[in-house]
Amino acid sequence: MRSLCSPTVIAAPSTSARRDARARFLPPRAPFIPPPIVDPSTVISELATAILKTPLVLKSHRGVRCEVDAPMETALSGGVRSVRITGRRWASPRNLTCDGIEFVVGACRIDLSAALAMRGIVLERPATGTARLSFDSSDFGNFLTHPLTREAARGRFAFDNTDARVVDSDHLELTATWLEDENAKSPQRFALRPGSTVGSVDVDADGVVDSASSRAMKRFFETLVVDLEGTELRYKSMRIDGETVEFELDLTVNRFPSPNVRF
């Protein structure tokens, strides 16, 4: 008979037993969920829209839409195929207004890391394309007396926006004083019509087509460059439909608007 004082040898659990015991107390493994893939087009579009909707860029609007074509294979290195921005009833803090707007640029390059970090849209080189702006009579008057237009017309014309208007699908009318002629002290009534060639506009002053003041006004509109703090617009053509005029403009974007622009 075994002595009560004899030591009892207890065998250590096997490796498989330890593993089974441990498994009973471990929580079940969660399935692997891959991180979401960031769509560069969506990031750029949402950031651009948010910047434009900032009250310091647009004090009011009835819609801002930005469509970006940036496939993953090109966007990772900053390549963008095209960008289209559209909107209705835009008004800037300094009262530059339009009924409708469309900006379209082709291939361009941006700093994708800046966009992903929400630091803004940073262009690596200028982007070019076409802009379309639709004005009613009130918008046209606001454009003529906007500080950017007044600065461009300094020493050449003084505009009056009280009776600027779009006339019956035919022409634009405005009142201005020609400042380059020392003898022209009184305002004249100018009529602007679409020109026969791209980049041209036909002008008459007080009903006279080929006067010195009408030629000066023609030159002013055909060579006017409006710089919206990095976005340059140049006259290309216009189309008048009812009480609205649509300007088609050459567009060069040197830098995207920041939230502290003032135009």
- Residue-wise pLDDT tens for the chain (263 aa)? 444 455 554 555 555 555 554 555 555 566 655 555 678 899 899 999 999 998 888 999 999 999 999 998 888 888 999 999 999 999 999 999 999 999 999 999 999 888 888 888 899 999 999 999 999 999 999 999 999 999 999 999 999 877 899 998 889 999 999 999 877 778 999 999 999 999 999 999 999 988 999 999 999 999 999 999 899 999 999 999 999 999 999 999 999 887 777 77
Per-domain residue ranges of the chain: 40-253
Asked if 124 and 78 count as a contact pair (C-beta separation under 8 A), the reply is yes
Query: What is residue 192's three-state secondary structure?
Result: strand
Following DSSP, what letter does each residue of 201-214 receive, concatenated?
A: EEEEETTBTT-HHH
Q: Which pLDDT score is estimated for 168? A: 84
Contacts with 207 (C-beta within 8 Å, 6 or more apart), sequence order? none
**Residue 235 contacts by C-beta under 8 Å, 6 or more apart in sequence?**
199, 201, 221, 222, 224, 247, 249, 250
Predicted pLDDT at 118: 80
Looking at the DSSP assignment, which residues form a beta bridge with residue 103? 85, 131
Residue tagged 């471990």 (tokens): 26
Residue 60, Cβ density class (10 Å: 0-12 exposed, 13-18 middle, ≥19 buried): exposed
The DSSP string of 3-27 is -TTSPPP-PPPPHHHHHHHHHHHSP
According to the model, what pLDDT value does residue 1 have? 45
